[in-house]
Structure formats: C-alpha cells, structure tokens
Structure 1
Amino acid sequence: MNGMVPPAHFPFMPPFSHDGQMQHTLSQPISSVGTGLHTGARISLRLSPAAENTGIVFHRTDCAMPPVTARYDTVVDTQLSTVLGHGPQDARIATVEHLMAALAGCGIDNVLVEVDGPEIPVFDGSAAEFVFLLECAGRRQQEARRQQIHVTRPVRVEEGDAFAELTPATQPGLGIDISIDFPAAAIGQQRYATQVDSHLFREHLSRARTFVLQPEIEHLHAIGLARGGSLDNAVVVNGESVLNPAGLRHPDEFVRHKVLDAIGDLYLAGGLIEGHFRGHKSGHTLNNRLLLKLFADKANWHVVPAGTPAGQPCTQAA
C-alpha cells in the first residue's frame, strides 16, 4: 500500500466505535512498507496485537535496541518529529506522532509496533493510511478496563508567544483548541477547536498532511532531515502558493494537522486524557514539555477507570 491514499470511507468494514470503557488491541497482525520522511529509507512496519495493560510498544528489528514504551518520558527528541528511545543516537525511533494519533483516534490501547529502520514510514504525510491499516487489522476488545488520566488543575508551558496548556475537562473526553500563525500567506492565521472522538478523527482530521515552507527545505536537507520528503507526503508552501498539484484536502489543512499531531503527542501520556488542551503556535516540543510538567506533580492529575465521573475516588499512578 506504499503511496496509496485510502478513501475517506471504508464501506467493506464496519467503523470503529469507542465504547470508552474497555481496553482494545488488534484482531490480527498487519504489515506495510513505506519511506521515512527524514531518512528517506525504505522501512517495513508491522503492527501486532498485544496483551492488556501492555500499552503501545515500539521495537526496532534492525538493531539491538530494546523495546521502548510510548510515553512522554521516553521521548528523546522533538525536532520536527517526536522521537522515542533510550538515549543513544543509534537507539531511537522517530516520527511516531501520526501513528500514535491513529491509535488514539481508533481506540487501540495495546499494540506492538515493529520497524526495521530508525523511523516510522511517513506514507502520505497524514494518519489516514495508518487508520486504513488499523481498520484492516480489526479491533478486539480485551478484559481489562481502560484507565483515563483526569486533569485536575491547569498546567501551562510557554516559549515566547507560543504556549500549550491543559485544564480540567468541562465535558467528557479530550477537547482540543489550537491556533497557528505563519508568515506564509497560504497558511496565515488558523484555528480549530473540537471535542475529539473516533468519528471526527477519521472523517475530519486523519487526512490532514504535514507541511513545510519551501524556503526551509534546503536548510532541513543540510542538517540531515526531510530527505524522504516530497509532494507525495507533505504540503509544500511558498508564500501565497501551495505547490502540490492537487492542492489542499481541507481549506484549513494546516491547523488540522497540528491538531492531529497534538492528539498523537498527548497519547504519550500512557492513556487517554480527560481534559482540555489549548495551544497557540505549539508543536512537539511544547506538547512534550506540557506532559512532563503535568506528571511532575500528582496534584495535577489522577487516574480512574474509564467512564468514572470526575471527582470520584481514584488511584494514583506511579
């Protein structure tokens, strides 16, 4: 399926439904091959079912790197992508955010992710092909209850005029409100606010692609990044122009992709967050700093079984 853009609907399969209560894994393994956005390498990806309470575990099959659990505290780099690892430069898995967003959006709690290279394939630059893979593999309910992370008081991080914050939920689930401001006229100022659910993710967010300003491409290549980037897997902007021949998938595709990234980055909390995320000009770095600050003080959060109203007795996670 390398290079294939899946349709917006999958009439041959029933849609996932979030029951919100029980953990889920895949019904069967599924594999694909794609290109790494930053390395340009051809990379094989395999997603396999995992036992309840395993979480999302990444494993490189091309080296001796031990498996790494997808958590905010295993993030080792956030330059243009979210990178997981154990520290050394040769023991990392990059560009996990789009797959993490798809797993969150499709309600998958436990899965083993295996790759034979240093990053996850970029496919078309969105989460749509990951959703396609997950729907083809199917979704199996498990016996353990899902745990939700309730935000109990505001937490905020800033860098210049950019910020990211989490506040207690005003309604069940995760609310996201993101605004961006780019000098390129084709992007400009955009804002997207929504209460996240699986239907909205698949239909309105999953196909939003990563993007880059054309003047930045030469610099990215000079520092060893974006070697696999092309008009097939990114939106390229130059001033007022979008250089992709087919144009945009949504008029506000840029901010929708930022929402997609935030969903993936926030799933590194180790579970579903019950709260409201607000970000302005935020990205992977601020998203990770926000989770680090959230979990630095247990007064900021608590864990309860999914479906438990806020304020009920809870269990503090370690």
Structure 2
Amino acid sequence: MQTTLKNKVSFKGVGLHSGARVCATVHPASAEYGIWFRRTDLADGDVLIPARWDCVERSPLCTKLVNEAGISVSTVEHLMAALAGCGLQNALIEIDGPEVPILDGSSAQFVDAFLAAGIQMLDAPSRAIRILKPVEVREGAAWARLSPGDTLEIDFQIDFEEAAIGRQQKTLNMANGAFVRELSDSRTFCRRADVDTMQANGLALGGVPGENAVVFDGDLVESGGGLRHADEPVRHKMLDALGDLALAGAPILGRYEGHRAGHALTNKLLRALFANPEAYRVVTCDADVARLLPGAGLRHADLALTA
C-alpha cells in the first residue's frame, strides 16, 4: 500500500551552497499526492514544485527542481533519498527558502525524524517502475545504466586522485531497509582543492568541514572525528543516486550502475528511460513485490543497526 507520515516533522539549518538559514516541514499527504515542495517564503505566483525528474534543472553539485513559473528549490537529493529509503511516497514539504537544509551532510537526521514520526499506510496500492530493457547514458569517462532486476540494486564506482579516497566500489540491494542501515549516515564530501573555487563561485557557502561535509586533501581527511565508514564517499554517492532516482515518481525495480556518475547524469538517465516506453512498465505492487521495496518493514529500531 502507499504510505505517508503519521505526523509532520520540521528541520532547521543552513543551505549547503547558499549558507542561508532555512526551515523545511514535511507534512503527511493523501494517496496519489506524490512528493511536492511549497515555497512558503514567496507570496505570489505558483509556489508548488513537483519532485519529478522532468523538473530538474542542470545545476552544479546538487539537484535543483524548478516549476513552470521558474520557482525553484535546490539540494533536494538527501531529503529525497530519506523519503525513498523510508518507503514514503506521499508528502508535502513546506520550505521557507530556496535550498533544503544540509543538516549533517547526510540523510540520517531526516530518516531518524521520519521513523520517529511514524509511517502511515494509505488505502491505495503502491506502484513501481519495472525496468524491461537496459538504458545507458555517458558523458566522457562517466556513465550510468539501468537494467532489469527484481529489486532496486545500486552498484557504484568512484575513482579520485586523492589517496584518502582512491577507487571505491560498492553494490547494495536496497530492499528491507538497507538504505537506512548502510547508506543514510554517509556525508557529502569534496576535495580541498575545490573548496576555494566553489566558494568563489557562490557555492558551498554553508559548508563546514567536519560539521556538514567531509573534505579530502591528499591523504588527509577533515571530518571532525574521522570517517563513519572506510568507504564513506562511495556510500554517499549511492545515497545521492537513490535521491535522484526517487524523482522518477515511484520506486524502481531494476539495477542502477554508476561509474563516476553525478546528479546530472542520473537525471539524464531518467530522461532517457522515460523517452523509451519499451524500456519500462509501471506495475501495481502485490504483497510479494511490496516487500522488496526500499523501506518495507522498516522500524525506528533499525537505526541502531547502522554499520
């Protein structure tokens, strides 16, 4: 069955790139509502923004949604990953600024609040997007692919010159709360060499190494207490991928592979998928399929099992 929150939850913090203070409140919603953002700081015009793949505007280093009136909200990927990872399919997110709060740079605080608030089953069947044929997109050395599979499986590989990152690869079946246990606490990261460039271009103004981001400089790690996982960077890339895939509008049943992929490439992959009706089918989930979706059977106690 479709789901929503039992109770609303609020998050206060700063935007990673804007540095501005912001509050986002996630409200329960009815079946078939989907995920929408509402800009409460704007009085005029269309302030509702659908969390949908065809509303993504190419933006450096984050996922930005823009509606037909040009109203936007950015850095939605960690919140979207938390919603998807908790199996939440319907919600209204009221936000009083243009960027979702970064919190600690991961999805952990979103997940904790969602599971504490409780998940409500709704009187409508869940749907999923089953991948029927492989779809692949490339940009230089980076590529991303969707191929058939019984559950959502994410396989990601990164390769950085920094010795503290290097080459990392991880594969994870996202069924049965795996996102919460394995990925949700992995933080956003960047290279020290890129920080000054980003800030000179008006980005990462709210980034604080060790507080809401991990910064790598050669073999050094600025994280405020060390890494949460030895392979935290690739886990965070998988977290981002789940958040970006959640903009498909329904859980995906298939295998996602990313090699040096980022937000823009994953969105390009969704656009290629939906441009080819023979590559997918929207299916109604029976009980057996529903048990394989991310978040199915998840409990708040599962947070204590994070690796």
Amino acid at match of 1:82: T
Query: Helix, strand or coil for the counterpart of 1:33?
Result: strand
- The aligned residue for residue 3 of structure 1 is none
Report the counterpart of residue 58 of structure 2 in structure 1: 77
Letter in 1 for 2:234: V
**Equivalent-residue separation in structure 2 for 1:93 and 1:67 (angstroms):** 10
**Residue in 2 that maps onto 1:97:** 77
**1:216 pairs with 2:194:** yes
Write the distance in 2 (CA, Å) between the matches of 1:164 and 1:81: 17
Quote the offset at 1:198 in angstroms. Answer: 4.4
Of 29, 36, 42, the match for 2:21? 42
Which amino acid in 2 is paired with 1:117?
Answer: G
Q: Name stretches of at least 5 consecutive residues in structure 1 with no aligned partner.
A: 1-21, 311-318
- Could you tell me how far apart the structure 1 residues matched to 2:288 and 2:111 are? 30
Name the SS for the 2:155 alignment partner. strand
Match of 2:133 among 153, 166, 169: 153
SS at match of 1:144: coil
Q: Deviations over 1:217-261 (max 9, x none)?
A: 111011111000002000011011102230100000000000000
Amino acid at match of 1:51: S
Corresponding residue for residue 119 of structure 1: 99
What is the SS of the residue equivalent to 2:145? Answer: strand
Q: State the Cα deviation string for residues 9-44 of structure 1 (Å, max 9, x = none).
A: xxxxxxxxxxxxx10001011112111100101101
2:138 corresponds to 1:194: no
- TM-superposed CA distance for 1:308, in Å, is 8.2
1:110 CA displacement: 0.1
Larger deviation, residues 184-193 vs 129-138: 129-138
**Long gaps (5+) in structure 2:** 290-307
2:10 maps to amino acid: S
Aligned-partner Cα distance in 2 for 1:40–1:131: 23
Superposition RMSD on alpha carbons, in Å?
1.4
Match of 1:24 in 2: 3
Per-residue CA distance 1:184-227 (angstroms, 9 max, x = gap): 11100000101102421111100000001011111101111100
Runs of 4+ with >3 A deviation: 307-310
Distance verdict in 2 for CA 1:203–1:309, change over 3 Å = closer
Distance 2:232 2:69 in 1: 35
Q: Indicate yes or no: 2:156 matched with 1:178.
A: yes
Q: What residue in structure 1 maps to residue 304 of structure 2?
A: none
CA contact (8 A) 1:105 1:197 kept: no
Contact conserved, 1:76 with 1:87, CA < 8 A, in 2? Answer: no
Name the structure 1 match of 2:305: none
2:122 is paired with a residue whose SS is: strand
Are 1:250 and 2:229 matched, yes or no? Answer: yes
Residues in 1 aligned to 2:77 and 2:129: alpha-carbon distance in whole angstroms: 19
1:300 lines up with 2:279 in the alignment = yes
Within 5 Å, which residues of 2 pair with 1:267-286?
267-286=246-265
Quote the Cα distance in structure 2 between the aligned partners of 1:151 and 1:216.
36
Q: Do the aligned partners of residues 76 and 237 (structure 1) sit closer, same or farther apart at CA in structure 2, a change above 3 Å counting?
A: same
Distance in 1 (alpha carbons) for counterparts of 2:241 and 2:108: 16
Task: Single out whichever of 194-203 and 148-157 deviates more from structure 2.
Answer: 194-203
Change (3 A) 1:214 1:127: same
Q: Return the letter of the residue paired with 2:122.
A: Q
Contact 2:153 2:171 in 1 (8 A): yes
> Equivalent residue for 2:206?
228
TM-aligned CA distance change 1:257 to 1:51, over 3 Å: same
Report the counterpart of residue 294 of structure 2 in structure 1.
Answer: none
Q: Is residue 49–residue 72 contact of structure 2 (8 Å, CA) maintained in 1?
A: no
For the structure 1 residues 309 and 197, does the alpha-carbon distance in structure 2 shift closer, same or farther, using more than 3 Å as the test? closer
The residue type equivalent to 1:73 in the other structure is D
1:290 aligns with 2:269: yes
Give the match for residue 54 of structure 1. 33
Query: Could you tell me which amino acid in structure 2 is paired with residue 100 of structure 1?
Result: M
The CA distance in 1 between the partners of 2:201 and 2:168, in whole Å, is 29
> Share of identical aligned residues, percent?
45
* Distance (whole Å) between structure 1 residues aligned to residue 95 and residue 170 of structure 2: 33
Q: Does 1:264 align with 2:243?
A: yes
Name the structure 1 match of 2:184: 206
SS of residue in 1 equivalent to 2:114: helix
Q: Is contact 1:83-1:95 (8 Å) kept?
A: yes
